[in-house]
Structure 1
């Protein structure tokens, strides 16, 4: 099997375009197309379905792409292990972070890491979508809440305290909340719903250890914490938000922390990645850097 053809195929999938892959590889588009066609002929299956606007992996193509990415990574790591530059942290990384976690928490650490390792390149995506870490070849992902896939490695980064909040304007309109018994209609909630966070059901815990689940009518559903905060500040409902994002608004009085004598569940934040025997040095360096740097300051 032609390893060069496999590398070309992987580049086409990553770029989503024969034209872009050819440019990245410094080849002609016809050469790239021929290499993929030869690979398909050798395997006896169709790997890509092509249209005028997009490329779509066939089921066989998806399986082969996952396997080829792992194989190319092993070959790359083997080359580094025997090369004169084996101590050099270099190469590409693909990282996906939930939007607010990337913008407000981990972004600066990522920048520091890249300053320290100038031979590393990174594709950083900030998104609240559901990710397929193995299928998409993602090196590192930050999970908010429970990890479902037991085949992945999860490293504890921090815990995010949550607070129950509303704007002063909202409370004037709908009434104060002085007890968990007040958490009912006509009060309403602004809810964050996205694939990036697996947040437990709304529950508060009294000083005696008793837990009280509650649910309010949905006035507005949004897919980012920032949108939820903005809606809450505009008086559209009660919200459960990370404590750190609310501090400045508590100080100005725009937000009111509700039921401060009740505790809310803290949400686990973890670094998640695939478990490979030959982990690329750049990936291990990033994981170690984030864990050490972040936890030393919090």
Structure 2
């Protein structure tokens, strides 16, 4: 298993991929667990087979079966991975620090909401960590621009990146207390007509009430959530935005949730981490992802109990 210059022709990551495929008995599930694309997992196993010059797995529509050579190789790989894991635990036990720099990018309104709270809490836990955060609504090339991770609300188009959805939200109608005091609190959709004014986002509305809402009169039309939210807070009208972005403002009494029954008829909107595929994920990135997921899960549990 060595080339002429005594270098192994495959890396540790390839061994991990092969071992996980064998253990789970599925390329698809292994890819999901390892946060890789299925095509990458298949390619890595195929490259391993070509290098070794033997067939490791026999594939059928229902199952994966190890060949005799594959079984021998898997046993060796499993033992190696176990030794490496034990060595890592011994080495990192006394040096379990989250440090370095985490480069992040996300829309302006996302960074100002509950995600911003997560970032601040995460930094307090890890004083040796630096975070470079860009709040921007522009289109970003993560790999070219050197970002570790992006958070996005809505469907993701670029399939070359790893997309991990960690929350689902829906859009809610909100207005400021000042606006409600002037025009009254709407009791149904028909109440949203004149004299009420909409602050409309230039985007698709994921709701069964889409047609009704799009026909309502509007006074201000804008292409960013942050601008719509700012106008709404100033009392210029009612707007329709993802609930998790304005949750804190509702709890603080700065915004009023209008027609909450609409919430139940929504199509969920994904909130996702997006990051480039890589052989080894930095510990600081993994820690931030896990921390944020836990924060959102805890928030959902608190709301359900309430």
TM (norm. structure 1) is 0.55
Instruction: Give, in whole Å, the separation in 1 of the partners of 2:115 and 2:233.
Output: 25
Tell me the equivalent position of 2:64.
none
Matched residues, number: 205
Q: Using the alignment, how far apart are the partners of 1:116 and 1:177 within structure 2? A: 44
1:123 is displaced (CA, Å) by 0.9
- Aligned pair partner of 2:129 in 120, 136, 139: 120
More helix by share: 2
Q: 1:287 pairs with 286, 289, 306, which one? A: 289
Equivalent positions of 1:133-282 (< 5 A) are 133-166=142-175, 177-181=186-190, 188-193=197-202, 200-201=204-205, 203-205=207-209, 212-215=211-214, 216-222=216-222, 224-243=224-243, 245=246, 257-263=257-263, 264-282=266-284
Tell me which moved more, 170-179 or 119-128. 170-179
Secondary structure of the structure 2 residue equivalent to 1:261:
helix
Partner of 1:214, secondary structure, is helix
Taking the aligned partners of 1:167 and 1:274, their CA distance within structure 2 comes to: 40
Distance 1:229 1:171 in 2: 15
The offset of 1:273, in angstroms, is 0.8
Task: In structure 2, list runs of 5 or more residues that go unmatched.
Answer: 1-87, 301-306
Which string of whole-angstrom CA distances, capped at 9 and with x for unpartnered residues, describes residues 209-228 of structure 1? xx755313442234554542
Q: 1:106 to 1:173 in 2, by over 3 A?
A: closer
Partner Cα separation in structure 2 for residue 107 and residue 240 of structure 1 = 21
Asked if residue 101 in structure 1 is aligned to residue 107 in structure 2, the reply is: no
SS in 2 for 1:203: coil
Q: Provide the C-alpha distance between the structure 2 equivalents of 1:116 and 1:175, rounded to a whole number of angstroms.
A: 45
Q: CA RMSD in A?
A: 3.6
SS at 1:141 equivalent? strand
Partner residue of 1:296?
298
Partner of 1:22: none
Distance 1:177 1:106, change over 3 A: closer
Summarize the Cα distance change of 1:140–1:103 in structure 2 as closer, same or farther, 3 Å threshold. Answer: same
Give the aligned partner of residue 39 of structure 2: none
Residues 99 and 248 from structure 1, CA distance in 2 versus in 1: closer, same or farther, beyond 3 angstroms?
closer
What residue number does 2:69 align with?
none
After the TM superposition, which of the residue ranges 235-244 and 165-174 deviates more from structure 2? 165-174
Query: What per-residue deviation string (whole Å, max 9, x for no partner) do you get for residues 233-262 of structure 1?
Result: 44433311344526756886x755443333
Structure with the bigger percentage of strand: 1
Please give the alpha-carbon distance, in whole angstroms, between the structure 2 residues aligned to 1:251 and 1:278.
Answer: 41
For 2:282 and 2:255, how far apart are their aligned partners in 1?
Answer: 45
Give the C-alpha shift of residue 169 in structure 1: 6.3
**CA–CA distance in structure 2, aligned partners of residues 286 and 225 of structure 1:** 25
